[in-house]
Amino acid sequence: MRIAVHAIIGLIFGLGLVVSGMVDPAKVQNFLDIFGIWDPSLAFVMAGAVLVAFAGYRLAWRNATPMLDDQFHLPKSTAIDRRLILGAAVFGTGWGLGGYCPGPALTAMGLLAPGTIAFVPAMLIGMWLARMTANATQSAAIGSKP
């Protein structure tokens, strides 16, 4: 049941990325090119997604628990720290260079553009390196406590 639910939600998410045009790196880069050939479409994608999720979340939170779990699992961290800003800044640099963020890149794999086939494995390696770095930093912090 949980597996089928995840596949269907992934499919709907992917269709959203296709319909909205976010799977096209050129469209994403043109949104970012404010002083050039600006295409404001992406702002409408964000607005549509955030408004629907905002309303949907509040409906979901009226229930005591989610339908397939015994509790909600919301991110606990509220820290606005160096790691958050550095990570986001590095991510944005890559997003500008390639026009892909993780969702559209994965969604576009089956379209088999050579640039996508180069991007996705590199992205996965980057993700793995970040997990290793984050784990190492955490263990070092724990280890350094008296």
The verdict on 127 binding other proteins (CB under 8 A) reads yes
The verdict on 139 binding other proteins (CB under 8 A) reads no
* Shortest Cβ 92–other proteins spacing (Å): 3
* Shortest Cβ 143–other proteins spacing (Å): 19
47 vs 139, which CB is nearer to other proteins?
Answer: 47
* Shortest Cβ 145–other proteins spacing (Å): 23
Q: Annotate the chain with three-state secondary structure.
A: CHHHHHHHHHHHHHHHHHHHCCCCHHHHHHHHCCCCCCCCHHHHHHHHHHHHHHHHHHHHCCCCCCCCCCCCCCCCCCCCCHHHHHHHHHHHHHHHHHCCCHHHHHHHHHHCCHHHHHHHHHHHHHHHHHHHHHHHHHHHHHHCCC
Q: Is 112 left (phi over 0), alpha (psi -120 to 50) or beta?
A: left
Q: Which of residues 23-62 bind other proteins (CB under 8 A)?
A: 23-27, 29-30, 32-37, 39-57, 59-61
125 vs 139, which CB is nearer to other proteins?
Answer: 125
Q: Which of residues 86-125 bind other proteins (CB under 8 A)?
A: 86-103, 105-111, 113-116, 118-125
Q: Which of residues 61-80 bind other proteins (CB under 8 A)?
A: 61, 63, 65-69, 71-75, 77-80
